[in-house]
Amino acid sequence: MADLDVVEIDYIVLVMPFALLVSVTSLLWVHSIKVGDMAVDTTWDAQMPESVYVYEVAYYLEVWSMNLSFLAVMSSERSLLEVHFASLALTLMVVYVLAQSRHPASYGLGEHAASMLVGCCFFSILVPLWLDMLQTACPVALVVCGVHFFVLAALLTFHSFARGESTAGQILLVRLTCTFACATHLAVYASGRNRVCAL
């Protein structure tokens, strides 16, 4: 039998990469607006300048770190590797939808069926994994799970309907609203997750 070492990770270690990437993506979209590559009424489509693509990649990293921080708070007694791979799988699903938001919905029945199949595969794999990792006895974990679900639902719904017709201002508004919802981390940090869950 192998020895098992249990390590408790400080909450701030899991949230700081997310906070750092929120700052980086904010600086990148402000810079894109300042140099004129993006404006509020710019159409969010495949013709965006390269600086906007740099922002997109940074935003994908932000989504990964958001998923990692939320899943880590929701689960307890899980290995960091398990939380990491679950957040990576969830991020791949979200990035797939975010990337599709730039392209018009001008595909035929075959592409529609393939897209639905990919979506069903993602959900059939990720939802049971997500629910298995949830620590249901902890009220903080349940609240964080609800906020995480709201953020993902808002991102996925809005971006799936964008389809190259939304403006940069609309996309940024949804993304910023979802980022502000992540301020839940401040409340969890202030209350002390393990202290509340131990009651």
pTM of the model: 0.86
Domain parsing of the chain, residue ranges: 11-197
Task: In the chain, count H helices and then E strands.
Answer: 8, 0
Structure-token pair, residue 29: 């979209």
- Give pLDDT tens digits along the chain (199 positions): 566 565 667 778 888 899 999 999 999 999 999 999 998 888 888 888 888 899 999 999 999 999 999 888 888 777 888 888 888 988 988 898 888 888 777 666 676 677 778 778 777 877 777 777 777 788 888 888 888 888 988 888 888 778 778 888 899 999 999 888 888 888 888 777 777 776 5
